[in-house]
Chain A
Amino acid sequence: MFDDLRDLYQEVILDHGRHPRHAKRPATFDASAKGDNPMCGDRVQVFVTYGPDKAIADAAFEARGCAISVASADLMAETVKGRSQADVRSLFTAFRELARTGTCPHCDAALAEPLERLEPLAGVHEYPSRVKCATLPWHALIAALDGAQEASSE
């Protein structure tokens, strides 16, 4: 039973959903924003710390939501660490396409390595109602980079 669901719930996702490594509210942070999916009640808050070069030195989150949204937030925090804000914005665009379509054929080759880490979430594209679960933490992250308090929903 559920064998075909292994595309969506890969072991990586189940693991990060159950035991997220970056699910914490840091004592100090430079920017933070909330994301809210009013359709389902998923909520996430992302915390960002900048390095001296304004790159992302650290990212963390607090979330109440499904396995997909928690895993996505955790993989995001892991992937964006140490990257410039411009790279993170490009990565968001690429990830959004990955989540919606399952691939990102036009994506910048420079993003190949981080996108590979996010690849386990590509399975959501077959579940249109779940795509937002995967992209919600990213919307919150981008809002934080923009200096906003709340992500605008898609």
Chain B
Amino acid sequence: MNVETRPMPLDVTRIREDFPILRQTVRGKKLVFLDSAASAQKPRAVIDAMRTAMETQYANVHRGLHWMSERTTDAWEAARDAAAALLNARDRDEIVFVRNSTEAINLVAHSYGRGVMRPGQAVLISGMEHHSNIVPWQLLRDDKGIELRVAPITDAGELDMAAFEALLEDGKVGLVAITHMSNVLGTYTPAERIARIAHVHGAKVLFDGSQAVVHRRVDVQAIDADFYAWTGHKLYGPTGIGVLWARRELLDRMPPFLGGGEMISSVSYERSTWAPVPHKFEAGTPAIVEGIGLKAAIDYVQSIGYDAIAAHELALTDHALARLSEIPGLTILGHAQDRGGVVSFALDRAHAHDVATLLDREGIAVRAGHHCAEPLMHRFALESTARASFAIYTTRTEIDVLADTLVRVREFFA
């Protein structure tokens, strides 16, 4: 990569002060939280925004003709503006609020898959997907007679582009659904290239951006994506709120996913008509306070800036790869050229769960298991790995603590 201009380094000490939980100790040790890819910690700005909303301006949205409801509706819709700006969406109405990435993908599988795709078409995923980007398509396959294809990955943990394109050549693939950044390997997929190839072969493309949007600026117009799914809780926001971005013309064509209040224009026993997008896809009272928290999280991330975030995480990842590579008997899973702050590894002498238990004793939180990506684990002939993942509040020292402790873990199981 050619990084010509060096962005302002990120002031980690100051950032850490924004996250109250980082002052906690675990088992008498300083917390070293290296599990942000599962769910990130929350800055004070998010916590305060949610509390303030509940204490000073809370009511249901889009319903009441009273002051509280109007204020709350404004705050909720401001979250939509923030999410649209984050992705550089053309139109704020292309932002559909959902619970999480899983729900976003299920929405597409139900509404686009069952409502727009036809039997005989295919969905193409990759060999490094999270279960949430596998299972909805299996359900669609079994329900609608839509084929499910899997593009293989290389030993380095990158998408095999030749195989990927070959799977599109018969023109049957109606939708490519693929991660923008692997939650296990840390690999970034070449989104622009994937979208270009998909479009050449007449397929739409959905990106699972759960991990990518945390670490890099995402521009859905520059990528030329059709759908982009992500979740708030990994972006330092609350749980229970996520985003599906989709092109306006696709959302207009798609039938509703869930039926109920908020998503209708008119209802009679004979027939109902749907509200315009995005409300057509937002049945029922949404996660209002969480949406307000998500806006605070987006504002917080934007105030730091993706250039600084990406540079910080690149430096951390390089450091982690260097330090972990020095440990005898440790294998790092995947070594893609373009990768981010997620490192999965296996130790020769100890199972990932034993590793995690020992690390936990030193206050170090890592994920251990199959990371909701069992087929990917099998691809590398593993049942489970330990995974360290980095965030804006992660320090070099924490990575050193991890590496030093792993050496001791290995000695423990000698």
Contact = CB atoms under 8 A, between A and B. Distances in A.
B350 interface: yes
Interface stretch (A34-42, A104-112, A140-148): A34-42
Interface stretch (A2-10, A45-53, A84-92): A2-10
A66 B361 contact: no
Contacts of B287: none
A11 B408 CA distance: 16
Interface string B120-156: 0000000000000000000000000000000000000
Given A40-B368, A40-B369, A67-B413, A1 B354 contact: no
A118 interface: no
Contact of B353 (A2, A14, A130): A130
A39 B362 CA distance: 23
A4 B361 CA distance: 8
Contact of B358 (A2, A39, A40, A65): A2
A64 interface: yes
Interface in B339-380: 350-354, 357-358, 361-362, 368-370, 374, 377
Nearest to A41: B383
A40 B413 contact: no
A43 interface: yes
A149 B413 CA distance: 33
A43 B370 CA distance: 13
A122 B364 CA distance: 24
A41 B408 contact: no
A66 B354 contact: yes
Interface residues of A, number: 21
Contacts of B368: 40
B408 A2 contact: yes
Contact of B369 (A1, A5, A9, A39): A39
B351 to A, nearest CB: 4
Interface string A53-77: 0000000000011111000000000
A41 B374 contact: yes
B412 A66 contact: no
A151 interface: no
A5 B358 CA distance: 8
A127 interface: yes
Nearest to B360: A127
B354 A67 contact: yes
B412 A9 contact: yes
B81 to A, nearest CB: 39
Contacts of B353: 40, 42, 65-66, 68, 130, 133
A5 B357 contact: yes
Contacts of B412: 1-2, 5, 9
Interface string A10-23: 00001000100000
Contact of A127 (B357, B377, B384): B357
A32 to B, nearest CB: 20
| Most chain A C-beta atoms within 10 Å of own C-beta, residue among B377, B383, B405, B408 | B383
Contact of A67 (B351, B361, B370, B377): B351
A8 B357 contact: yes
A5 B357 CA distance: 9
Interface in B281-339: none
Contacts of A39: 369
Q: Which of A9, A42, A66, A67 has most chain B Cβ within 10 Å?
A: A66
Interface of A: 1-2, 4-5, 8-9, 14, 18, 39-43, 64-68, 127, 130, 133
The list of the 6 closest CB pairs from A to B, nearest first, reads A66-B351, A41-B383, A66-B353, A41-B384, A41-B370, A40-B369
Given A5-B357, A65-B353, 5 more contacts: A1-B362, A66-B354, A67-B354, A68-B354, A130-B357
Interface of B: 350-354, 357-358, 361-362, 368-370, 374, 377, 383-384, 405, 408-409, 412-413
23 contacts: A2-B358, A2-B409, A5-B358, A14-B413, A18-B413, A40-B353, A40-B368, A40-B370, A40-B384, A41-B370, A41-B374, A43-B383, A64-B383, A65-B353, A66-B351, A66-B353, A67-B350, A67-B351, A67-B354, A67-B413, A68-B353, A130-B353, A133-B353
